[in-house]
């Protein structure tokens, strides 16, 4: 009888442990993310909770690939005008973003170059942008000097371009000839 009680108790403990172990769920992130509804629910949970969202952004900023995706999305938002509208509504955010962008560009010069070339390309893409850029260059003595040096270098490297520019701008041709005479 005593033996029977020990066996029953042992079986009950084994059954209880088995139940507890079998009920333990294992989380598999990739399986969860395969289902669109699960992904949407997860995204919604993160974006509606400010501390979770902040934690998510911090993690994303530690990954180089994620940083590039965020920068590209940021650039697209800026180009589309959505960012400008959002900034006008929230000046504090605008100030923080500008200081953050400045800090990021100081840390990563290649990011600054990429942004400058994008902005330059965008400005050169329309007449008003070109005019604004040219006005800025002409009003800034340092930029004007740099532009002249760069143009001279480009014309020395590319004689066809030099000829084309001389045909289009007779005033420039006179200045160039005058400078060449002064050098001799």
Each of the 184 residues of the chain gets a pLDDT tens digit; together they read 667 778 777 877 787 777 766 665 666 778 778 888 888 888 888 888 889 888 988 888 888 888 888 888 877 777 777 767 777 777 787 788 778 877 877 787 777 777 777 777 776 777 777 777 777 777 877 877 887 788 788 878 888 877 887 777 777 777 767 766 665 5
User: To which residue do tokens 């371009």 refer?
Assistant: 161
- Residues recorded for the chain: 184
DSSP letters spanning 86-144? HHHH-HHHHHHHHHHHHHHHHH-HHHHHHHHHHHHHHHHTSHHHHHHHHHHHHH-HHHH
User: Rounded to 10 degrees, what is the CA torsion of 46, 48, 49, 55?
Assistant: 40
| Residue reference for tokens 């942008």 | 129
Burial annotation 29-60 (CB, 10 A radius, 16+ → b, else e): eeeeeeeeeeeeeeeeeeeeeeeeeeeeeeee
| CA contacts within 13 A on the Cβ side of 182 | 6
């Amino acid at each position: 009888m005593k033996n029977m009680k020990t066996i029953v108790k042992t079986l009950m403990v084994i059954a209880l442990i088995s139940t507890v172990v079998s009920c333990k769920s294992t989380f598999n992130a990739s399986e969860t993310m395969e289902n669109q509804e699960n992904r949407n629910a997860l995204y919604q949970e993160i974006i509606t909770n400010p501390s979770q969202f902040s934690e998510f952004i911090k993690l994303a900023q530690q990954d180089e690939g994620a940083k590039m995706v965020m920068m590209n999305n940021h650039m697209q938002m800026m180009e589309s005008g959505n960012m400008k509208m959002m900034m006008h509504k929230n000046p504090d955010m605008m100030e923080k973003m500008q200081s953050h962008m400045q800090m990021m560009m100081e840390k990563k010069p290649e990011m600054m170059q990429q942004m400058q070339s994008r902005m330059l390309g965008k400005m050169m893409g329309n007449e008003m942008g070109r005019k604004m850029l040219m006005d800025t260059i002409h009003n800034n003595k340092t930029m004007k000097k740099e532009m002249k040096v760069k143009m001279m270098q480009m014309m020395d490297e590319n004689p066809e371009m030099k000829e084309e520019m001389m045909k289009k701008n007779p005033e420039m041709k006179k200045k160039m000839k005058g400078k060449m005479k002064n050098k001799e």
